[in-house]
Amino acid sequence: MTRKKTLGLMAVATASALILAGCSTTEPAEAGGTDITLWLMGGDTPDELRDYLATEYADATGGTLTIEEQSWGDAIAKLTTALPDAENTPDVVEIGNTWSPTFTNAGAFSDLSDMYEELGGDKLLDSFVEVGTVDGAHYALPYYFGSRYVFYRKDIWAAAGKEVPETLEEFNATVADLASDTQSGFYIGGEDWRNAISWVFANDGELAVKEGDEWVSTLSDPNTIEGLEQFQALFQNASNAPVTEADSTPWVNINNNESTGAPESATIIAPGWAHWSIGDLAPDPEDDTKTVATWNDDVFGVFPLPGKDGGAAPVFAGGSNIAISAASQNQDAARELLKIIFSEEYQQMLGENGLGPGNTDYVSALGDDQFAQALIDSAVASKLTPAAPGWAAVEGSGLLEEFFGKVAAGGDIEALAAEYDEQITPLLAG
């Protein structure tokens, strides 16, 4: 090798070493402040609230708060790998409420018991506090709650002479009547178990229960089976959605389709904040490649999914908990951020943006319009998935999507339930 070539190679090696080193350099912290990272799940927390947190945190500590958004779909995988790693863990992290038992039991979070009272104590939403508690110690606290309710097309319902149903049975019959080959009466994907479990819960069924010390999958329970039978009939008679569809963007199905001028479906179920995306479509004045939806009370309406004997059905309680990573090297700074999140002002802001505040004292901030009313009514009756240590593994395994998809496709419910009970029970222990 000639000398020139060797020198060239060395130059390349040095350059790449420099570039690589550049990647890992962290910016020097501002004097006095501790920089921390907050992971938020999906786009549920609006920008206004994010800016508020960053500003308040800087004012309170002099440090910088970096907010990183994680998509719901990959979150379990990312949390599993990042949380144990002191070098890369986020300091404060939002987690889906149903995953709280899993990560709390695994020891992912710091004990917050000593500041529990300061952050709201008894006022914090019970069911959410419970999933973040192990042996009486509090690790993950409620961040916000959401709920699902029904959005329907008043125009289509009125044309068919249908009224808002009082019971779940009436609802099932009504949407089946509204269905045609080109339009669903009620749009629900076959694998959309998070919505389908409302029918299981409404019939007093459970996905899993604790028998003694052991968690057992209870898909074969007679009540669960009854709910599953209703879901199967509903999917077959009222929905044109594919069997393989799970959680999607439900509002596209109730807004008018641009090419046909009619919606995909007369009725959908969606998280409360979906109402921002539902309405009459018009071109966005700021960006003509997009459209904006304006809610129209003459065409669109909402009501909580009715229960078996009237009232509201127990739908899946959406929402998140928030916790400090046990591996975080900035425990004190992270606690400062929690104080800001549980402050009156921030809790009010959550409510004003349609997110149920973790501190129930501020629920009135949700307002008293029809959306707030439907949210509160459905949230009161709502229900969480089992608090089993292995629940996140059950969700991650995709078995529930698979099971509900096969039920929706018209499978033999009892045989499927027995088969999937056997697969899910071992995962529940964690």
CB 290 within 8 Å of CB 306: no
Stated length of the chain:
430
Q: What CA–CA distance (Å, rounded) separates 76 from 403?
A: 20
| Distance in Å, CB of 104 to another protein, minimum | 11
Residue with tokens 């104590």: 121
| Distance in Å, CB of 83 to another protein, minimum | 7
Give the helix/strand (H/E) hosting 233: helix 222-238
| Distance in Å, CB of 107 to another protein, minimum | 5
Number of other residues whose CB lies within 10 A of the CB of residue 338:
18
Q: What CA–CA distance (Å, rounded) separates 268 from 171?
A: 12
Query: Considering beta carbons, is residue 310 or 426 the nearer one to another protein?
Result: 426
Query: Considering beta carbons, is residue 366 or 392 the nearer one to another protein?
Result: 392
| Distance in Å, CB of 401 to another protein, minimum | 5
> Residues 6 or more apart from 274 whose CB is under 8 A from it?
151, 250, 251
Query: Considering beta carbons, is residue 55 or 329 the nearer one to another protein?
Result: 329
Interface contacts to another protein, rule CB under 8 A = 1, 73, 76-77, 80-81, 83-84, 102-103, 105-108, 191, 242-246, 326, 392-394, 396-399, 401-402, 405-406, 427, 430
| Distance in Å, CB of 397 to another protein, minimum | 4
| Closest among 199, 215, 189, 204 to 424, alpha carbons compared | 215
DSSP, collapsed to helix, strand or coil, labels residue 381 as helix
Q: In the structure, how many helices (H) and strands (E) does the chain have?
A: 15, 15
| Distance in Å, CB of 106 to another protein, minimum | 4
Query: Considering beta carbons, is residue 99 or 152 the nearer one to another protein?
Result: 99
